[in-house]
Amino acid sequence: MGNFYLQSQSGILTNGSITATGDIAITSSNLVASKVQIQAGRSLTLQVTNLLTDNGATNVWSVGASSLNGLNLPILPTAGDLHGTTISVLAGANKNVVNTWAGKNWGGSAVGYVNNASLGGLILNGSSVPPHSLFTFNGTGANNALYVKNLFLTNTAATLNSATKTATALAISPNLVIYYQNAYSNGVPVSGIINGWNNSQLLWVTPSIMAQTNIVVPPPSLSASGFIYTVSGVLLPNASALTTNASYNVIVQTSTNLSSAIWVNTYTGTPPFTYTDFGYTNNLQQFYRSKQGW
């Protein structure tokens, strides 16, 4: 197959494979992909507006080296992550593979791995010595980020220059930061070594940071008085407890349809607080969620 283009309102890909010698582009409001193998000979573009998720299932996707366009997320979906998905990008000889990502930059915080199109794994595989095989990463706006659990630099992409503190196969634009929990150079752990490299655009989210509780929202309960959220125990990314700082909030949102969800803010407050929807039995607000906001 040459190119593969999929357009849908809601797409579910499961227990299968998509292979194309050219480009693969998926445009959808919702995309759920689980146990799916994707092989794109050139580029892979995911243009998903609402929900992008693998539900934690394992996916193995690869982006080939026959193009100068690689992995692309042009817009950030409203919700979802790809925590079970590993994507491999290959830069062939004399190729600069340009990748574009729309994730929001939450800094070195576990928040960046929640509803931010974060990845379980990213493999960068170079076939010739940099700069003859190069991976360029661009943001879509002024301040974007790509959050990855495991970052693998393989073959010539593993070329590290300690003198200049650069992974020389990576050209990361000023409007993007790559955050990782674990980094490997040809299988050797280098998480702490490359932290802050490439002009502080490779940053380590340490285990202690990931262990912090960023938000504690017990499941909402039903009672005679309504549909109740009780929010407490919130910690900032630096692990300091927050109870009164009005610049930090938890937002309660509702939607009437998860297939094409339009989330509406129904309450914004500084923890601790209790939110009650008294009219939940008489209106169309069927779905509820909470998120952090500044």
Which of the pair, 280 or 175, is modelled with greater confidence?
A: 175
**In this structure, is residue 130 part of a structural domain?**
yes
Query: pLDDT for 129-181, tens place per residue?
Result: 777 789 999 999 999 999 999 999 999 999 999 999 999 999 999 999 999 99
Q: Are residues 201 and 252 in the same domain?
A: no
Do 231 and 98 belong to one domain?
A: no
Last residue of a domain, one of 175, 209, 243: 209
Whole-number Cα distances in Å, 46 to 77, 100, 202, 237: 10, 11, 23, 29
Decide if pLDDT at 274 tops 60. yes
Whether residue 152 lies inside any domain: the answer is yes
Residue range 185-241, pLDDT digits in tens: 999 999 999 999 999 999 999 987 775 443 444 455 555 556 666 665 544 444 444
| Strand pairing class (166-167; 144-155) | unpaired
Residues 235, 196 share a domain: no
- Looking at every residue in the chain, the average pLDDT score rounds to 83
Burial 134-144 (b: 16+ CB within 10 A, else e): bbbbbbbeeeb
Judge whether 259 lies within some domain.
yes
Mark which of 160, 177, 209 sits at the end of a domain: 209
- Regarding whether 181 and 86 lie in a shared domain, the answer is yes
Is pLDDT above 80 for 112? yes
Summarised one tens digit per residue, pLDDT across range 78-99 is 988 999 999 999 998 888 999 9
Residues 139 and 277 in one domain: no
Question: 52 lies in a domain?
Answer: yes
Would you say residue 69 has pLDDT above 60?
Answer: yes
* Domain co-membership, 205 together with 227: no
Q: Is residue 274 part of a domain?
A: yes
Percent of the chain whose predicted confidence (pLDDT) is above 70: 75
For residue 240, what pLDDT is reported? 42
Strand 249-255 vs strand 287-293: parallel, antiparallel, or unpaired?
Answer: antiparallel
DSSP conformation class of 270: P
> Are 255 and 194 found together in one domain?
no
Residue 28 covered by a domain: no
Which whole number is the average pLDDT over 6-30? 94
Q: Is the pTM of this model over 0.85?
A: no
Judgement on whether residues 192 and 228 belong to the same structural domain of the protein: no
Give yes or no for a contact between 59 and 38, defined as CB atoms under 8 angstroms apart. Answer: yes
Question: Are both 101 and 49 inside the same structural domain?
Answer: yes
Q: How many domains does the chain have?
A: 2
Average pLDDT over residues 105-134: 88
Q: Provide the 10 A C-beta neighbour count for residue 179.
A: 26
Helix, coil or strand: residue 210: helix
Average pLDDT score over residue span 93-120? 90
Does residue 215 lie in a domain region? no
Average pLDDT of the residues in 109-118: 86
**Last residue of one domain, picked from the residues 182, 209, 236:** 209
**pLDDT over threshold 90, residue 24:** yes
Asked whether residue 133 falls in the same domain as residue 252, the answer is no
| pLDDT value of residue 264 | 74
Give me the percent of the chain exceeding a pLDDT of 90. 57
Residue 184 pLDDT > 60, yes or no? yes
Asked if the structure places residue 20 within a domain, the reply is: no
Answer yes or no: do 174 and 242 share one domain.
no
- pLDDT score for 118: 95
Give the range of the structural domain holding residue 255, as residue numbers without chain letter. 221-293
Instruction: Mark whether 165 and 238 lie in a shared domain.
Output: no
- Whole-angstrom CA distances from 31 to 4, 26, 50, 53, 262 are 16, 9, 8, 7, 16
